Amino acid sequence: FDGVFGGSARAKDLVTAMLAHDEKDRLDIAECLRHPWLDCPTTVQPLSENALRALARGSKKSKTKKRFLLEAAVRIPPHEVEHINSVFKALDTDGNGVLSIVEMSSGLEKLGMEIPAAEATAKQLDLDGNGEIEYTEFLAGLASHCAVQFKHALWTIFCKYDTDHSGHINAQQLMTLMQQGHLNEARLLKNEAAAHRLLSCMDTDGDHLISFDELCCYLLPECM
């Protein structure tokens, strides 16, 4: 049951008891409903001061960086960032699974952010401009607060496009990467020259290639 219900031990215990081969060991409906896993209330934890700063910092990143982090965010299993999930649910006051600009800004105000800054941050987190902040957009805004998980996700992306297994990404591979998923939706690269310009922003050692460390340093400099 690893990976089921976020790997919860209580969830595993409940499912095991429900599937017991011997009927006398199997839980009936009433016993299932009394099980600690179903009876345990979800604790909503507040956004910490560090996370609040990370959110404000993340909202100010360039469009390219935000899109890279959004591409990484979709690859992070929710059970790895349970605290963030709890905060998102608390901010989602109407329970529709997304945050409106009003919900987001109101939540930030309650956490101590000034009204103008809260409204600006909320709008900047809405990457696709549809007036709503999806879970992955919210998570992407907190990348520096979940650096370990984001680095793992970025490593997966890096390895996928390091097609020759050289440990580096060249301009052509970068262009291929930028033409996929959320990166392609933003139409960030219009030609190969743009890919070379972006590569030069990431390439700190001047070898005209991007290493994984350089990618992380570009996207999450505050965590390096």
**From CA 67, how far away is CA 223, in angstroms rounded?**
18
Q: Per-residue confidence at 13, pLDDT binned at 50, 70, 90?
A: confident
What DSSP letter does each residue of 179-195 carry, written as one string?
TSHHHHHTT---SHHHH
**From CA 168, how far away is CA 209, in angstroms rounded?**
6
pLDDT at position 186 is: 62
Task: Evaluate if pTM is beyond 0.85.
Answer: no
How far from chain centre, in Å, is Cα 188? 20
How far from chain centre, in Å, is Cα 137? 7
Neighbours of 124 (CB within 10 A): 18
Q: Per-residue confidence at 38, pLDDT binned at 50, 70, 90?
A: low
pLDDT at position 72 is: 94
